[in-house]
Amino acid sequence: MTQDIDTSDMRLTTVLKEWLKQNEWDDEIEINDDRDFAEIATNYLIGGQKYQLYLEANELTECFDVYLYSPFDVPPARMADMTRILNRINLRLGIGRLCCLADEEANPVQYKVGIDVDAAPFAPDHIDNMLAAGGSIFEHHSQLLTTVALTDVSADAAWSKFLEEEKRKEDEKEERMKRSGPNVVPFKRD
């Protein structure tokens, strides 16, 4: 069992082991023979859908990467529209990026985020934050991504509908806040 292997000489892999333990995951960590690279390949549920998840610790470069892959593939015929949508989404992201390999094959949408720790502190919370960011991005954009990948709706039409839905949700939120009144406690001076 990988969790029983001594990884004290593998700083990032040790944090990955700690993260697995904290989250009560029993996935095996694959460690290469040179002990400079470790990886977990598993599934991760987002919005009831099973995404492929890869967590990679590169001990040589001191980089840790999180990859999530969509449960659907983008057909080559839909790649131009998907590229437009991914670019628009990426412009709004604060962390990570979405992409899809454009070749003659159908490919999933990939989310990637990485951190170069280079002797800086690295903790299980970093992995939580990186994974949560990817999950949130896929969850927020799942309808948009599947529409573009799996229907004949153009990128522009799908994007317009997505923005309209975001606006509607924001308007509803503002209306709820108006109805509930301010949640501000008045400041009193002594």
> CB of 158 within 8 A of CB of 147?
yes
Mean local confidence (pLDDT), 151-159: 97
DSSP track, 48-109: TEEEEEEEEEETTTTEEEEEEEEEEEE-GGGHHHHHHHHHHHHHH-SS-EEE---SSS-EEE
> CB of 99 within 8 A of CB of 148?
no
Mean local confidence (pLDDT), 7-11: 87
Mean local confidence (pLDDT), 53-61: 97
pLDDT number for residue 20: 96
pLDDT surpassing 50 at residue 1: no
Alpha-carbon distance 168 to 162, whole Å?
10
Q: Helix crossing, 79-92 with 155-180: angle to 10°? A: 30
CB count within 10 Å of CB 150 equals 13
Length in residues, the chain? 190
The ranges assigned to domains in the chain are 2-177
Token pair of 5 as six digits: 């292997």
Mean local confidence (pLDDT), 51-73: 97
pLDDT surpassing 90 at residue 174: no
Express each pLDDT in 12-33 by its tens digit: 999 999 999 999 999 999 999 9
pLDDT surpassing 70 at residue 182: no
Give me Rg for the CA atoms of the chain.
Answer: 21
CATH for the stretch 2-177: 3.30.1460.70
pLDDT number for residue 176: 82
pLDDT band of 178, cuts 50, 70, 90: confident
pLDDT number for residue 190: 54
- pTM of the predicted protein model: 0.87
pLDDT band of 102, cuts 50, 70, 90: confident
The lowest-confidence range among 7-11, 12-16, 122-126, 183-187 is 183-187
